[in-house]
Amino acid sequence: MSSVAAPLGARTGRRTLLIWTAAAVVYLLAVFHRSSLGVAGLEAADRFHIGSAALGTFTVLQIGVYAAMQVPTGLLVDRFGPRAVLTTAAAFMGVGQLLFAVASAFPLALLARATLGMGDAMTFVSVLRLCAAHFPRDRYATYTALTAAFGMVGNLAATVPLTLLLDSAGWTATFAAAGALTSCYALVVALRVRDTPRGTPAQTTALSAREVAQHVRAAWSVPGTRLGFWVHFSTMFAPSSLGLLWGFPYLVQAQGMTAAQAGSVLSLLVLVALVLGPAIGELTARHPTARLPFVWAYLGTATAVWAVLLGWPGGVVPKPLVVVAIGLLSIGGPASSIAFALARDYNPIARVGTATGVVNVGGFCAITVTCLSVGVLLGGNTADATPADFRVAFLAIAVLLVLGTWRTWVWWRRARAAVFAARERGEAVPVRIRRRVFDLPALPVAEVRPERVA
């Protein structure tokens, strides 16, 4: 299958940038809606008469729905194109938020958040599929990172601006306005977004039920996709789990910070990602061979950070060290975007949506497992948890980090072996790498099917 994306080194036109911006705004809205409970948590507890455990259910449900929807989303976007899926995503998020605005009972509110989660789930993969079609391969990492930066802006909008709106306009008006605006934006997407550059054919494929399974299997069996899955798994879950659920109680209850201090420290997760993300995207776009060394540097740093946080006697760490630790962990968000460049590089364009969905499952599975495990290990009563309790509960993060690092190592070596084998067959490979002492011995050529390496 050939790629009809723009050629390498091609200039990006104004029209392409407008199409991408219209699509990336949907992701900005998705992250805004996703994060909106962060500042509305106390009000939600009051409104739905629920405690902190039930409040956590909102987050776990939303992230669980998101993870479960990634492969279906990838398939949908490969079948119908990003415009149709993004339009549906904006409509889902709008309806979900409108429902949340008027819900006064917990079950209805859960349904609203699940609807929102469905829309959210359809967004990022669609925007990246659009990037793959509109930008040359050597700009993909840059636009992936810039798309992620739009998300960070959405996250920021869900902090102080949303707090002010909630304070002045109240729950129903605020969420109804956010929902209505998002529903209307679905129209903008339908009218403005184009799946492919002008003059190029559609890149969608209709598949039978049997072919759907083959399509997913084909994406999953590519060593580059599998490496992306584990890179995403290992890098993104810690900063996201802290930002979405456990960071605030950890900083307040285990580290003795005030609510305001904890909020400021957690805002580092967004600010560092916003500033460093595009720089990391540009660096890895220019130097694809730096992708995995960067991931290893992050994983080494994260291991050291957790060793300090969890190994500190008594569990109460000096505050400046906590700030540095959170700052370093926040690099995991931008580092996780490297995983999408791997999916893009090692899959044909018609399968990039599905491969991106597969990769995105990695991080969100790890976030779901972390959020649930930490809650279970804390014993359900977060309000009474001590620093020692948090140390035990956060061991779940250490376990997932070790698992993710090990699998990344395994699939890195396999992906490199596949690249060497493809090169020996005279095929074009996306990165120029040299054999190292840690590389696997050369695979028999028959073990690496041609379509595994683009």
Q: Which is nearer to ligand LKAUPR5Q, 158 or 419 (CB)?
A: 158
SS3 of residue 204 by DSSP:
coil
Q: Which of 89, 162, 193, 273 binds ligand LKAUPR5Q (CB under 6 A)?
A: 273
Token output for 406: 């090990």
Q: Which is nearer to ligand LKAUPR5Q, 119 or 223 (CB)?
A: 119
Taking CB under 6 A as the binding criterion, the range among 252-260, 328-336, 344-352, 373-381 that sits at the site for ligand LKAUPR5Q is: 328-336
Q: Which of 91, 176, 236, 343 binds ligand LKAUPR5Q (CB under 6 A)?
A: 236
Regarding 126 and contact with ligand LKAUPR5Q (CB under 6 A), the answer is no
Regarding 266 and contact with ligand LKAUPR5Q (CB under 6 A), the answer is no
Our CA angle for 191, 194, 196, nearest 5°, is 170
Select from 38, 43, 69, 70 the least CA-distant residue to 56.
Answer: 38
Regarding 247 and contact with ligand LKAUPR5Q (CB under 6 A), the answer is no
Nearest approach in angstroms of CB 269 to ligand LKAUPR5Q is 8
Nearest approach in angstroms of CB 255 to ligand LKAUPR5Q is 23
Q: Which of 333, 353, 357, 404 binds ligand LKAUPR5Q (CB under 6 A)?
A: 333
Q: Which residues of 216-251 are buried (b: 16+ CB within 10 A; e: fewer)?
A: bebbeebbbbbbbbbbbbbbbbbbbbbbbbbbbbbb
Cα separation, 141 vs 128, in Å, equals 10
Nearest approach in angstroms of CB 151 to ligand LKAUPR5Q is 5
Cα separation, 248 vs 250, in Å, equals 5
Q: Which residue has the CB atom at the shortest distance from ligand LKAUPR5Q? A: 333
SS3 of residue 361 by DSSP:
helix
Token output for 205: 């494929």
Amino acid identity at 5? A
Nearest approach in angstroms of CB 396 to ligand LKAUPR5Q is 20
For residue 203, give Cα distances in angstroms to 3, 86, 173, 350, 428: 9, 16, 41, 6, 22
Residues found near ligand LKAUPR5Q in the complex (CB under 6 A)? 124, 148, 151, 236, 273, 277, 333-334, 336-337, 360, 363
